[in-house]
Amino acid sequence: MATLSELLPVEAVRLDVAAPDWREAVRAAGDLMVATGACTAAYTAEMIRNAADNGPYIVLAPGFAFAHARPSPAALRTGMSWVRLRRPVEFGHETNDPVTLVAGLAARDASAHTAAMAELARLLADPGAVRALHEARTPQAAHDVLTGRAEPLRSAVAGPGRGAVVHKILTVCGNGLGTSLFLKHTLEQVLDRWGWSRYVEVEATDTVSAKGKASEAVAVLTSREIARTLGDVGVPVRAVEDFTSAVEVDAVLRDTYDV
C-alpha cells in the first residue's frame, strides 16, 4: 500500500488558491491531479458530481474537505493533491464549514491508498500539524508537513489485531474509498485505547453495500448526510461530525455501547 509521500508529489500542492465556491475548490484539487498525471479532467467532473449527489459529507473535519470519486477509467493511477484556499468557502456542511484545506484523491482501486489515508487522518488529528499546514509559506513547506519531513508528529497508534472478533461496526461514505477510511482509522484508535480491538472489527464501505452488510453489524458510523441517505438499516446509525476526532468518536462509541 502506497504512503502519502508516494501518492502526493510536491507539484500537486498549491497554496492560497482563489476559489469562489466549493465546486471550484474541488476543481482546483482535480486540476492538480490532471497536471501530475493521476487522472483526466473527466475524473474532476466525477468528484464534483459525487459531492453534488451525496451532499457535503466530504467535509469530514472542521475546515477540511476530501474530494474523491469512485475508481474509474478517468483515474489513470492512484494519486493525490493538496490545496489551501486563499479564502474559506462553504460546502454546505452543518458544522465543519467553512473549508480552507482540500485534499484530492484519484483512486485506481479500493486498497492502494489505505495507508496514505491512515497517515493523513493521523496528521489532521494533530492540532500542531494542522496549524503548520495553515501557516506554510511554500508548497514545499506544506509538503514537508504532509509527508512527515517537517518535524516529528505523534506516533501512530498500533493497528488492532483481528483476534476473536465478536462485533462489527461499519464506517460508511458515498464511495467507501476515502472518508470512510478516515473514520475507520479514528475508530480503530479509540478501540485500541479501550482494549477492545480484538472484539470489534471495523469495515469501511459505501452506502449501497452498507445496506446489505448492516445485518452483520452492531452499528453504522457515518456523516449526517450519509445517515439520511441510508435511512433505517435495522441497526443504529450514528452521525459523526469530525472524522478525525478521537474525542467525538469515543463519545459515539460510548453511546452505542451505553458505556
Question: Annotated catalytic sites, by residue?
Answer: 68
The answer to whether 26 touches 67, Cβ cutoff 8 Å, is: yes
Q: Which alpha helices (DSSP H) does 195-245 contain, by range? A: 207-213, 224-230
User: How many alpha carbons fall within 13 Å on the CB side of residue 84?
Assistant: 19
164 DSSP 8-state letter = S
Distance CA 138, CA 166 (A): 48
Cβ-count burial of 154 within 10 angstroms (0-12 exposed, 13-18 middle, 19+ buried)? exposed
